[in-house]
Chain A
Amino acid sequence: MRRIYFDYAATTPIDLEVIKTMSQYYTKTFGNPSSIHYFGRKALYGIEKSRQIISSFINAELDEIVFTSGGTESNNYALKGIIYANRNRGNHLITSAIEHHSIIEPCKYLQRQGIKVTYLKVDKYGLVDPQDVKKAITNKTVLISIMYANNEIGVIQPIKEIGRIARDKGVYFHTDAVQSFGHLPTAVDELNVDLLSASSHKLYGPKGVGMLYIRKGMRIMSFMHGGDQENGRRASTYNVPGIVGFGKAVELARDKMGDERRKLTSLRDKLIDGILNNIEQTRLNGHPFTRLPNNVNVSVGSVEGEALVLNLDMEGIACSTGSACTSSSLEPSHVLLALGLSPELAHGSLRFTLGRYTKDEEIDYTLDVLRRIVNKLRSMSPLYKGRG
């Protein structure tokens, strides 16, 4: 069966060039970078080359990059690392209501430890108002963490402005850039961020590797205690092939980013227009323009998301939903609810995320299949009342 992948925000396939670069680090250059001998030095060279590519990509210094096991670890490290190391400065953290679970859950954990957390509301497009950030800052505020781009609805936050406010007030600013890294410009000095999380498998690199950018001079706790890897901040034997692959993936992303953005934006808008114009009672979630070039998130009235996703899957189309029925919580996506969507519409949400291998004809096929499936499910939905 023909299979179409529209879930690049969940993960991406590794680019073959990345695999090629990585493979020798499993076999020939297998040494432990912490070893002083030839094998160790060769492996260390791979790590440092990768560090060099990534730091120059974000305009940072070499020792401002800490390799981690991925986005979740980077986010956990940023929040806990800063909060624990700065308890004498305050006990307040500001974030938004639509962060990824790897921010929300550490925040809840910190709340149980006595930290006060402000979850900023967003507008109907999912945007955080920098003025709200400003108002929320107190003399106890240690850290602000606002994501660069949202994983569900793709909305891009005004990071620069928020960063400027944070800097003015002397508060640390972290951004979860997992979804945008390698897809949007990410120069840390322009974004005014002090910490930035990224993950390799969202940009055609291997899974299980990511990084946290930590601006020089930050007071931050060590995340893993053990060996002296990453200046003692993150002990654990280096995931050499992973880190090397991450570096290669960033290199490719750097070179392809401009063209890819243009191509994806036009495919994205074709899919959005196709859905909104051809299927009644649908709406776009997120911002029409200030959104990731590859993100489409729509709500389809009177049908449930999981039923849509499984029906599409049976036709060879892979996408995702913010409906509750894919999780054990039974509550629909916190992001969609934060936009003010009714639970019914939140349950009927569909996310298509496009990528490097998406073809124009796949959009046509999907529009065709989707319309058919929506009709089928609506014909059995007690909530559906057709127009006229």
Chain B
Amino acid sequence: MQGYSRKVIDHFRNPRNVGEIKEPNGIGRVGNPLCGDVMVLYLKIEKGVIVDIRFKTFGCCAAIATSSMITELVKGKTIDEALKISNQAVTDALGGLPSIKRHCSVLGEQALRAAIRDYHKKATDGIQDDERLNKMKKNKHYKNQYAAQNKKSLNKSIKNQRDSI
């Protein structure tokens, strides 16, 4: 167990919140079997609060521990609060990771963001009014999610969401 903290081993041995949610309103799938890790995160969001979260992960000890930890950190939080959780925060909560395993901590953060993005896309809940949309637009973390897309498509996707409500 070279370089793994007690916390990492604990979460690896007894991962929290493993499994799927029957009717999730957000799913995030990230990673690639080529790189040796794949994570799927399921969210149940009610009134902007993450009431349930589950995960399935194919990956090494660090990937599994990171997945487990992020579900603990996120459960019960609002979307905005959840989006503020960085991969560093996950690593810190685990008592650190060996340097060659740092990349694993990104998996959790990416999955969470992807799941929240999916949730917004589905727009089944959460986006209630313009105020919230504007807030979302300004939210640094949310913007990062759309780094790959240009501003135009961001605006378009938000407009689409608005229209669909």
Closest to A325 in B: B60
In whole angstroms, how far apart are the Cα atoms of A383 and B59 in the complex? 10
Inter-chain contact A380/B100, CB cutoff 8 Å? no
Q: Which A residues touch B1, using CB under 8 A? A: 310, 313
Inter-chain contact B37/A304, CB cutoff 8 Å? yes
Inter-chain contact A343/B57, CB cutoff 8 Å? no
Closest to B59 in A: A304
Inter-chain contact B38/A382, CB cutoff 8 Å? yes
Inter-chain contact B33/A381, CB cutoff 8 Å? no
Inter-chain contact A382/B39, CB cutoff 8 Å? yes
Inter-chain contact A380/B38, CB cutoff 8 Å? no
In whole angstroms, how far apart are the Cα atoms of A384 and B34 in the complex? 15
Closest to A347 in B: B36
Q: Which A residues touch B55, using CB under 8 A? A: 380
In whole angstroms, how far apart are the Cα atoms of A310 and B62 in the complex? 11
Inter-chain contact B58/A302, CB cutoff 8 Å? yes
Cβ of A307 within 8 Å of any chain B Cβ, yes or no, is: yes
Inter-chain contact A379/B18, CB cutoff 8 Å? yes
Inter-chain contact A314/B100, CB cutoff 8 Å? no
Contact with B along A351-382 (1 / 0, CB 8 A): 00000000000000000000000000001111
Cβ of B44 within 8 Å of any chain A Cβ, yes or no, is: no
How distant is B24 from chain A, measured CB to nearest CB, in Å? Answer: 13
Inter-chain contact A344/B61, CB cutoff 8 Å? no
Interface residues on B, range: 20 to 34
Tell me the B25-68 residues at the A interface (CB within 8 Å). Answer: 29, 33-40, 55-64
Q: Which B residues touch A314, using CB under 8 A? A: 13
In whole angstroms, how far apart are the Cα atoms of A216 and B80 in the complex? 75
Inter-chain contact B57/A330, CB cutoff 8 Å? no
Tell me the A301-349 residues at the B interface (CB within 8 Å). Answer: 302-307, 310, 313-314, 323-325, 327-328, 330, 332, 342-344, 347
Closest to B34 in A: A343
In whole angstroms, how far apart are the Cα atoms of A328 and B60 in the complex? 13
How distant is A359 from chain B, measured CB to nearest CB, in Å? Answer: 25
Inter-chain contact B57/A382, CB cutoff 8 Å? yes
In whole angstroms, how far apart are the Cα atoms of A382 and B30 in the complex? 11
Q: Which A residues touch B33, using CB under 8 A? A: 342-344, 347, 383
Cβ of B126 within 8 Å of any chain A Cβ, yes or no, is: no
Tell me the A16-51 residues at the B interface (CB within 8 Å). Answer: none
Q: A313-B1, A314-B13 are in contact. Are A380 and B18 (CB under 8 A)?
A: yes
In whole angstroms, how far apart are the Cα atoms of A342 and B39 in the complex? 19
Inter-chain contact B60/A307, CB cutoff 8 Å? yes
Cβ of B119 within 8 Å of any chain A Cβ, yes or no, is: no
Q: Which A residues touch B60, using CB under 8 A? A: 304-307, 323, 325
Inter-chain contact B56/A380, CB cutoff 8 Å? yes
Please pick, from B29, B34, B63, the residue contacting A304 in the complex, using a CB distance under 8 A. Answer: B63
Inter-chain contact B36/A332, CB cutoff 8 Å? yes
In whole angstroms, how far apart are the Cα atoms of A305 and B33 in the complex? 12
Inter-chain contact B29/A344, CB cutoff 8 Å? no
Please pick, from A330, A342, A379, the residue contacting B35 in the complex, using a CB distance under 8 A. Answer: A330
Q: A323-B60, A380-B15, A383-B58 are in contact. Are A304 and B36 (CB under 8 A)?
A: yes
Q: Which A residues touch B12, using CB under 8 A? A: 307, 310
In whole angstroms, how far apart are the Cα atoms of A328 and B99 in the complex? 9
Residue among B19, B55, B57 with most chain A CB within 10 A: B57
Inter-chain contact A304/B35, CB cutoff 8 Å? no
Inter-chain contact B57/A380, CB cutoff 8 Å? yes
How distant is B70 from chain A, measured CB to nearest CB, in Å? Answer: 14
In whole angstroms, how far apart are the Cα atoms of A314 and B29 in the complex? 29
Inter-chain contact B36/A323, CB cutoff 8 Å? yes
Inter-chain contact B100/A304, CB cutoff 8 Å? no
Inter-chain contact B34/A344, CB cutoff 8 Å? yes
Closest to A310 in B: B61
Inter-chain contact B64/A307, CB cutoff 8 Å? yes
How distant is A329 from chain B, measured CB to nearest CB, in Å? Answer: 9
In whole angstroms, how far apart are the Cα atoms of A325 and B60 in the complex? 6
How distant is A7 from chain B, measured CB to nearest CB, in Å? Answer: 14
In whole angstroms, how far apart are the Cα atoms of A344 and B33 in the complex? 5
- 29 residue pairs of the A-B complex, CB under 8 angstroms, read A303-B58, A304-B59, A306-B61, A307-B60, A307-B61, A310-B1, A323-B36, A323-B60, A324-B35, A325-B36, A325-B61, A325-B63, A325-B101, A327-B100, A328-B100, A330-B103, A332-B36, A342-B33, A343-B33, A343-B34, A343-B35, A380-B57, A380-B64, A381-B56, A382-B29, A382-B38, A382-B57, A382-B58, A384-B58
B residues near A, CB below 8 A?
Answer: 1, 12-13, 15, 18-19, 29, 33-40, 55-64, 100-101, 103
Besides A304-B58, A310-B1, 11 more A-B contacts (Cβ < 8 Å) are: A303-B58, A304-B60, A307-B61, A307-B63, A313-B1, A325-B61, A325-B101, A343-B34, A381-B57, A382-B38, A383-B38
Closest 5 CB pairs of A and B: A325-B60, A344-B33, A306-B60, A382-B56, A382-B40
